[in-house]
Chains A and B, each alone.
Chain A
Amino acid sequence: MNAAANIPLIEMSNITKSYVMAREKTTVLHKVSLKVDHGDFLAIVGPSGSGKSTLMNIIGCLDLPTEGSYKLEGLEVTGQSDNKLTEMRNKKIGFIFQGYHLLPKLTALENCELPLIYRGLSGKERRLRAMDALERVGLGQRMHHRQSELSGGQQQRVAIARALATNPPMLLADEPTGALDSKTGMEVLGMMEELNRAGQTIVLITHDMEVAKLASRTVIIRDGVLSEQAQERRSSDETYARLQDGSQERIVQQA
């Protein structure tokens, strides 16, 4: 195993986040510690108000913790500058939001190109990679459609393609099925499962235990405190085998 595979993707220790609201200090996360390895499919489950959105913002480098250490692929996030955080988001994380968060004036392809533009890739390479990502989610035929011309499921698939286009080590999905009916929701989740099987690390945030069941590992957050849940659906052997696959895939990618 090489060094990159040994370093956990996410290593959080004693993360605390508190806000000052109306001159009163509210602590949303209490000493959260979390470790996610490459190839994991982690679900973070919690009811609304539990602090899961705050946790997601911190995982996604959109927000900084008040205290504690957060290492993303071995790089310390806490205390980084705004520009550095932006760069990390661009390189390491693919976001899938509940409300899709596509730009309505751009076509599906242009939406997928957007993170690549900010990475500074040439027009030709951007196009190729964006097209490739759209093919992967089965939207090869609808590349030049705008948001308004796509169904909810298709919009979310464009969002997944956009997240995949940068080839990030981690997909961070915030309630990806929240705005979809259960059938299209399952389709989207099925796609994510498939991606995970191909070695993609996924962190899924949801309030729905049913959705969380698809994940290989589930943690529950309640009132800002994180607790691990015992593995139910998959045997540890299977997990181990898949992990092996994932690692190999990464090695191939790095080569």
Chain B
Amino acid sequence: MKLTQGFKMAVKSVLSNKLRTILSMLGILIGVATVIALVAMGKASSNEVAKQVSSLGSPNSLSVTILGRGTVTTLSVDEANELGDVSNIAGVAPVTSATGYAKYGKTQVSVTVEGITAAYEEVKDFPVQDGRYIASPDIKNNSKVALIGVATATDLFEDEGEDPSAAVGKKITINGYHFTIVGLLESQGSSLTGSNDEKILIPVTTAQKVFQTSGVSTIHLTVSETSLMDRTVTAVEAVLYEKFRGNENAYRVLNQEEAMETLNSVNETMNRQLIYVAIISLIVGGIGIMNIMLVSVTERTREIGIRKSLGAKKRDILFQFLVEAVCISGLGGALGIGLGYIASFIIGMVMKTETEVPIDTVWLAFVFSALVGVIFGYLPANKAAGLRPVDALRHD
């Protein structure tokens, strides 16, 4: 018997019993749809992570967090600026940050106050939309000037009946000190570290006085050559090692790539577990097909007897039932892929993220589901092929 003929016969038989076919493919269908939807969801969340990490700064940025442990607990602004001497470092922006209370009229909000230098604008790529930036004279003179984020401006001025976009020139108090707002920052949205628009920036020297701190808490750096990032990180670490007298716990150097890797490894672990669950559901689906095929063999014993008496060899019957099982599981797989696509689309809409179904996952799911058909179809097919025609014909 020819292969195509066997295939045609099996497809015909599968299609002639629609309800049974649908019911038996349901397991595989749901399994494959789950795989597709889960992978799409995983992709969506890793895309989200990538987006958030990139919002931490451009790929050429690097940051040093001073944790303040050990004997030397801090770096001064000048010491921080010395990092600019490291080769490949393009910009240094030391920051000291604290939580302060900003007040305007009767409204008071708790807000992150960062003491910055003039380099902040360029290093963090965070310009003003109105007014001017903090300049070197402000730092030298400990001027009480401030830049305000759009969210904080809204919080502070809206309740007082003032227009937040006209914040420049207004006078506010921060922890009791009077400040003049000289610039309104661009909106930057939120990142992993929280909203970038809920902050007030003041000169670093002023901040040290207001909050009675010395030194800086974070140093933002940019490199000129991104490909040399690893070498630069090592060089920066060497300088810090010296400054903190060998206490490696006192600081941490983070670059964007590293942050992405850390977050993605978490994502990957989760995805892998989801795939295991999906594989188990595919196996359960396969067992469902096996059940139905076994019932089908019993039900069609007479048909098998007739076919055998007319000249169907063992392998013809084996092939027929195997192809039927593969048709059911393959069809289930194909429909599952369709359902998975729809599900991933809906998930994307609900979660408001970009879902993505990788094409190799689709192939893998399809091939795996067909394979399930072969594996779980073999036992029933073998049972059918092994029937003796005399017994099979007598069966009612």
Chain A residues in the interface with B (C-beta under 8 A): 57, 60, 62-63, 82-83, 86-87, 89-91, 95, 97, 101-103, 105, 114-115, 117-120, 123, 162, 166
Contact = CB atoms under 8 A, between A and B. Distances in A.
Contact of A115 (B12, B302, B310): B310
Contacts of A118: 1, 307, 310-313, 316
A223 B349 CA distance: 79
A196 B275 CA distance: 67
Interface residues of B, number: 24
B53 to A, nearest CB: 60
A86 B307 CA distance: 10
Interface string B312-349: 11101000000000000000000000000000000000
A119 B314 contact: no
Contacts of A123: 5
B287 to A, nearest CB: 27
B168 interface: no
B250 to A, nearest CB: 81
A87 B316 CA distance: 12
| A-B interface, 10 closest residue pairs, ranked by CB to CB distance from nearest | A90-B311, A118-B311, A115-B310, A101-B306, A62-B389, A86-B313, A63-B390, A62-B390, A118-B312, A115-B311
B311 A89 contact: yes
Contact of A57 (B12, B302, B390): B390
B311 A87 contact: yes
A46 B36 CA distance: 66
Given A57-B390, A62-B390, A101-B302, A95 B1 contact: no
23 contacts: A62-B393, A63-B390, A82-B313, A83-B314, A86-B308, A86-B313, A86-B314, A87-B311, A87-B313, A89-B310, A90-B310, A95-B310, A101-B306, A101-B393, A103-B307, A105-B16, A114-B307, A117-B5, A118-B310, A118-B313, A118-B316, A119-B311, A166-B311
Contacts of A90: 310-311
Interface in B123-147: none
A11 B302 CA distance: 30
